[in-house]
Structure 1
Amino acid sequence: MYPSSSYHLSPPGSPPSSSSSSSTSSEENARQERRRQKRVATYEAVRYMVNYMANNVIPLILVNYMSNNKERTYIERNREEGHARLFNDYFSENPVYPPQMFRRRFRMRKHLFLRIVEGVGAYDSHFQHKPDATGRLSLSPLIKCTKTLRLLAYGEAADRVDEYLRLGESTARKVLVRFLEAVIHQFGDEYLRRPTVQDLQRLLQVGAYRGFPGMLNKVMTTCIILHNMIVEDERDTYANYADYSEYENLHSQVQEAEYGAGYQIEIDRYIVNRDNLRSRNTHKALKKKLIEHIWQRFGDGN
């Protein structure tokens, strides 16, 4: 004998009770309704995204594509002629311009410039003189480094000497970016120092004005490295490489003072003026005023 069960088991295949069937049907309907609502919401979201892409994003992409793929005017600059002219002017055995003019225009001596050219060429093959896909020699590293150093030293426009160096504006900007990377990698560990506040203020203004707002760190770092390399190279030779050409006519332009026989120096005034010139307090006051003046002109970003 088995104990009687308190619940009833329906035999297999027997239909469910009416109450159970009604509950299952309502739950299934609720699930189907939720599925339908999700499908409708998904459809509306997809339709909105498609309409937004068709009305806003795709036209903008097409405009940018058309503007970037306009037919460009090709200019045959004859880069071989530019390299030959630059080489004969400064780097041949008997250059047109003497070492003093090289130092003044390149802001460094020739052997240091060639060291930089060799260093960046060792880091980046872009600064190596090699043939392109057509077999024609690319722009020489002398041209690329000369143009980049003039951009950094003089702040000139990217196409300032296009007719001389045969280097276009867009190419000059690309070369500048790669030159910064190469100099930092090759010479940074040896010549880098921390920038001063004045360095930051000046380079922030110059970088924004010249159209390089996102390159301040690399430009500043490269300029500091190059500056320290020049200082190390010339610290004991400034007197030998000084350029006095701009002062040749100075004596003829300045009139010498004439002193009469009855002229007497007022010794008291002389002592006061001399003390003022050598006064440390006066020096600090003038220095403070100069800093305030520079900040007002360049420090506020206007």
Structure 2
Amino acid sequence: MNSNSFNLSSTDSSSSSSNSDDEGRELRVQQRNEMCLMIQHVMHEYIPPIIQAATQQRRRKSTEPRKDRGREEGHARLYNDYFAEVPVYPSSLFRRRFRMRKHVFERLLNAVTQHDPWFQQRRDATDACDKYVRISEATSRLALQKFTEGVINQFGDQYLCRPNIAEIERLLRIGEERGFPGMIGSIDCMHWEWKNCPHAWKGQYQGRAGVATLVLEAVADRDLWIWHSFFGMPGSCNDINVLHRSPVFEDVLEDRTPAVNFVVNGHHYTNGYYLTDGIYPRWATFVKSITSPQARKDHLFAKHQEAARKDVERAFGVLQARFAIIKKPSLAWDTDILHNIMLACIIIHNMIVEDERETYQNNVNTNEFMNAGGNANEDTTEYRTDRIVDIGLYLTRRTEIEDQQTHLQLKNDLVAHIWNKFGNNENLRN
């Protein structure tokens, strides 16, 4: 009896449980069907009018006539002012406006336009973006990118190259005249503000001024020719951080540069050097000024060192004065675009220096340093990028470059040399 009662209650319990599961399934199916009906209703009632309205608005915009920007009048005004056979403005004003002589401008123009068909005149083609010819902002950005790429491709190998033997001899002659035998330039860094730096990167690129910047490391000579450039390091890095990542000594370490030998105060040296400010390390390839000089020899050395070291500072100033795009905060978003802009500006800067170098005071003619029957632009040093550098030679060269004892001895020898060379003149002034 008890057994039958138990079995009956158990059967009733299982049947009620199955009924509740069926009811739950039916409820979920009903809710899903109602949701599908609601989505279909929205798709049929609301989406088509929205698509139709957007399509009509886009069609209206595309059929509107383009605004007349006066491109033809602007082109004619620009041509008549500067490029006609008898221009309105003389060549001196052309140099003042465009920061270069007319034949340098035309050389750039012809090389870039022949290299990239984007610049060749076609139907509805546009011209330069300034007060003469008006083009849209998007076209201006695209033209800038195409122009910088064309300048780098056409002139990069010629105007971003390492100095050849003739140039090394010219640089050493200039250094000797200024009291620094073995000097091949001065090195320093410049910051370019990056206004549109992504927010996630601002901490990495934030410089001393509290804004995002990118760093340019450069080596310049007295003529303001920039022999070495290394651009793109975040603004949070100081000059030493940039130096440790820079390829400035890469050719020296791999023994791919012309030999530099000179004698100062009776001591022989085999490595050229750069003039630097106080932040750089005490390496044999750097000569720094003397902080708080006390002796008259030290005063005279500091005076000449700081005057010669200003070459790279003047190069930065002239570079920014010629190209307002790197003087003002950059509006680009991509570091590759910024890199191309900086390299193109340096190339054009060196082209202008080459063209106007003979007008500089104390200009040294490179033809003096031609080998017998040779060419000043011919470099007899073998350059190979696929060579395997001997690791022992590499480490030996690095030890020579970073030798602090040589740095101190060279500095003392230069102090004595400058005193012997210019000390009498200093005594006469006093």
Band the TM-score falls in, shorter-chain normalisation = 0.3 to 0.5
User: Normalising to structure 2: TM-score of the pair?
Assistant: 0.33
User: Normalising to structure 1: TM-score of the pair?
Assistant: 0.44
Q: Larger RCO: Structure 1 or Structure 2 (Cα < 8 Å, ≥ 6 residues apart)? A: 2
Between Structure 1 and Structure 2, the one with more helix by share is 1
Between Structure 1 and Structure 2, the one with more strand by share is 2
